[in-house]
Amino acid sequence: MTHRFRVLVVLVVSLAALATGCSSGTQGSATLASATLASATSASATSTVDTELVSVVRQDVVETKKVQATVGNGLGITVPIEAEGLVTWAAPAGSVLASGDVIAEVSGRPIVLVVGEVPLYRPLRLVGRYETDEANTRLGQQKGADVAQLQQYLLAQGFDDKGRLTVDEVFGISTQRAVKAWQTSVGHPATGVVDASQLVFFTNEVLLQTELTVGQQFVPIEVTGTGTVLQVRGSTSLRDFFPVGDAINVNTEPPRTGVVFRSTRVIGGDGSGDGVSQLIEISVDDANPTELGQSVEVVGSLTQAVDALTIPVRALLAMSDGSWQVEVDAPGGVDKIKVELVDVVGTTAIIKGLDEGEQVVVPL
């Protein structure tokens, strides 16, 4: 319903009025509220304007942020391969490598990718019964998840030491024999020791990003995940709008959703001059390969208040003493009621001092 009222408009003299009137809130909110009020009112002492009545609503107040994201495959990771020599064969860049696939051959010897949660952080081998470390402490057998990953790979490739090998997380004599049989079959010296010149453990299949040249020295290679990842880089405040685990709207045609799986502070400015920015990574399904390298809009959100009383910012009247009033519909006219301004989110004011359902006068 639209009415015409004689509305007293009080000039907002400075941002200090809003800062004094808010019991909480941010400088950004104050600036936004001041700009909103300035655009909705004039500096004249008294003016006739068209108005409408709007009910006080109790609700959760959610602020949204729209930003541009780049479509890609995520951050590149350098593969920890410890091989030296000439490249004699290499998978081409863009290849998807699964468990058991050869990444490259160096001096005729393959480097194999094996899927596993634990990296190959040590050479895996059979430790001698009386072998000791530098402190003369007996080493004992190698045990752990990395050993189990190796055993699972050997079994999958058919090297089971005549049925004696099991996945028991212990590098014993059967594991050593299976390793030697595998090494012989692929062209490595049958040492029984597995290190990063022969294979690497990765948590998932990977997409090869580096193009190796046959006949050239082997160089470190980079891989990414195989899924489509949206990357957003900007102010560190982004982490509040895009927390890890949250579902995110992706404004494409048709619309899609993604999930934030990583949020990292990285070196490199975002225009704020502090040299640090936030990198947000969002996984999406049903991606189109032609989208790689393009920009899409993503929408994050941040809940600023829960179960709060709200009115449009335009309903606020800034008084010369720094307080705030609103005009409330009453029998026979309107009453001016003092309210406490808690915060401003966009065009919504969070207030105290009114009841849910009361109707306030809002200039059009």
pLDDT band at 311, cuts 50/70/90? very high
Q: Any residues with CB less than 8 A from the CB of 135 and at least 6 apart, and which?
A: none
Supply 303's token pair. 């809940």
Give all domains of the chain, ordered by start, each with its CATH number.
2-63+304-363 (2.40.420.20), 66-74+227-301 (2.40.30.170), 77-224 (no CATH)
Residue 243's φ and ψ, nearest 5 degrees, are -70, 150
Half-sphere exposure of 62 (CA within 13 A, CB side): 8
Closest to 173 (Cα-Cα) out of 139, 141, 149: 141
pLDDT digit string, tens, across residues 157-171:
999 999 999 999 999
Supply 231's token pair. 């990357």
Q: What is the per-residue pLDDT for 46?
A: 44
Q: Are strands 317-318 and 295-312 parallel, antiparallel or unpaired?
A: unpaired
Instruction: Round the average pLDDT of the chain to a whole number and report it.
Output: 86
> Quick one: DSSP state of residue 85?
S
pLDDT band at 290, cuts 50/70/90? low
Burial call 193-210: b when 16+ CB within 10 Å, e when fewer? bbebbbbbbbeeebbbeb
pLDDT digit string, tens, across residues 34-67:
444 443 443 334 457 899 999 999 999 999 999 9
pTM higher than the cut 0.85 = no
